[in-house]
Amino acid sequence: MDYISTRNKEIVVTPSQAIIQGISTDGGLFVPVEFPQMSLKRIQELSYKELAYEILRLLLTDFSEKQIKDCIDKAYDEKFDTEGIAPLIQVGDDYFLELYHGPTLAFKDMALSILPHLLKASLNINNIKEEVVILTATSGDTGKAALNGFTNVDGIKIIVFYPESGVSKIQKLQMNTQEGDNTFVVGIKGNFDDAQNGVKELFNNMNFVEKLKENNYILSSANSINIGRLIPQIVYYFHSYIALLGEGKLRIGEKINISVPTGNFGNILAAYYAKKMGLPINKLICASNDNKVLTDFFNTGEYNKIRELHLTTSPSMDILISSNLERLLFHISGEDDELIIELMNQLSKNGYYKMNSTDFKEFYGDYSTEDEVANIINKTFKKYDYLMDTHTAVAYNVSRKYKKDYNDNTKTLVVSTASPYKFASTVASALGIGIEDKDEFEIIDVLSKKSNRSIPEAVKNLKDKTVIHKNSCNTEDMRSIVESFLKVGETHD
Ligand SMILES: *Cc1c(COP(=O)(O)O)cnc(C)c1O
């Protein structure tokens, strides 16, 4: 299986090379040249780990069986607080796919608990001896999940940039208390898009890349621009489908809808890839918060980032440039790499682009307002005793709107991306709990009593941890701060 760049199909790399590079040298993203087919009949009885193996072996063809199995064993172990890894909970007529049972309480753990191992194996396969520097931009959850996955991994350093005033208190504390000599965390004065652009620019800055090389470093990425993030995410879509088959809720081949709270378009793209690999999906529901660039795109064909970024109660989706949409456009346009270059140039020069003749009927895009988010958290808790976080609420609300407006009774999977405890103050307010003069941990206690659910260990532990990282910088200074962490000298040119 080869991978090609969305901006130049002639750039062809192996799976392990795609994972090491993170992003192609021309700025494009790596995609598989074809989508292998899964047989639903054959996978019905498989556990999460067995299913992961069946999917990964088809997409990571230059890994040995042993390498893939080792990666899977190291990733999906007791770090997850449930044996099923990704449990499915029925609420009314809908099913919540809970992806937040990993060590950092967000769905990013599903991929970032395995990516470090995939990267290590990739380095072995290619006989690479240089030290790897992972540069990561985060809207809050990727940062902690990546730090957690890569901490103390030999031969790899990780540097995380997050928007200083764009993450929740718990998210910030999770990152700034990260231990490990190889971890660096920096708050930037800007939003997530600024952080992501800054990182992408560093990847494409040949002078910088060369300088690192001279110092025996190579760059890689833990963001969902890295195909090694997306591939492990395909697994849980198939897994939830076979779970529904097992419970007799679906007939084999029956289609489902999947509603995904979307930011960088990674998670929903993994669902689209699952569809391409044979998962019966009717609609992919792309749910946004007030930053509804994608809603507008799916409804008009115009992608326009020239608008104010709203800081919402679902901060991990406060994004105006959804990087992985580039991959979808590539597939849907019949792999037209020249068109992709054109569109991406327009986006960076003018701030918008328009698609003419493209068909997005596999997708439905809509958004939830802040009031709708609070309302649905409250109502669902009262009616079903089910507590969800703000991101999940965005997706649930949009899926209900869609069902009603289109009179579609297809069974729906709502992708639940974070623990409600990660966004405790907002969730508590939505339930009508007074939060004035309570700190985040007191709010978590109240929430736990009210909902009768225990507090995850990862949140409890946080309370007594020491803040280790106190760095902060302007976006222009991202390069120099990276160079200072790596102790790479001044440039003399
Ligand atoms: C990252 C994240 C999202 C958005 O996922 P994308 O793959 O970037 O679209 C949604 N919810 C939570 C809680 C997240 O951490």
CA pair distance 427, 433, nearest whole angstrom: 9
In a domain? residue 469: no
Instruction: Report the separation in Å between the CA atom of 260 and the middle of ligand 1, taken as the mean of its atom positions.
Output: 9
The minimum-distance atom of ligand 1 relative to the CA of 270 is: 7
Pocket-testing residue among 234, 295, 316, ligand 1, by greatest number of atoms within 8 A of Cβ: 316
Q: pLDDT > 90: what percent of the chain? A: 90
Instruction: Report the separation in Å between the CA atom of 276 and the middle of ligand 1, taken as the mean of its atom positions.
Output: 21
Q: How many domains does the chain have?
A: 1
In a domain? residue 38: no
In a domain? residue 337: yes
The minimum-distance atom of ligand 1 relative to the CA of 418 is: 13
Q: Which residue has the tokens 């966004």?
A: 423
Is this model's pTM higher than 0.85 or not? yes
**Per-residue pLDDT, 490:** 63
Catalytic residue among 66, 69, 79, 108: 108
The minimum-distance atom of ligand 1 relative to the CA of 139 is: 1
Label residue 83 by pLDDT band (50, 70, 90).
confident
CA pair distance 156, 366, nearest whole angstrom: 40
Mean pLDDT calculated for residue range 168-195? 94
Mean pLDDT calculated for residue range 459-463? 88
Residues with CB under 6 A from ligand 1: 106-108, 141, 224, 261-267, 316-317, 391, 417-418
Which amino acid type is present at position 424?
A
Mean pLDDT calculated for residue range 476-481? 95
Average pLDDT across the chain, whole number? 95
In a domain? residue 418: yes
Q: Which domain holds residue 246?
A: 88-104+228-463
Please check the confidence at residue 493 and state whether its pLDDT lies above 60: no
Mean pLDDT calculated for residue range 74-91? 94
Q: Are 120 and 103 in contact (CB under 8 A)?
A: no
Instruction: Report the separation in Å between the CA atom of 83 and the middle of ligand 1, taken as the mean of its atom positions.
Output: 23
> Active site includes 108?
yes
Which CATH number goes with the domain that contains 98? Answer: 3.40.50.1100
Which amino acid type is present at position 304?
N
In a domain? residue 343: yes
In a domain? residue 405: yes
In a domain? residue 431: yes
Retrieve residue 356's tokens: 């003419």
**Per-residue pLDDT, 45:** 94
In a domain? residue 121: no
Mean pLDDT calculated for residue range 420-448? 93
Q: What is the pLDDT of residues 239-282, one digit of tens each?
A: 999 999 999 999 999 999 999 999 999 999 999 999 999 999 99
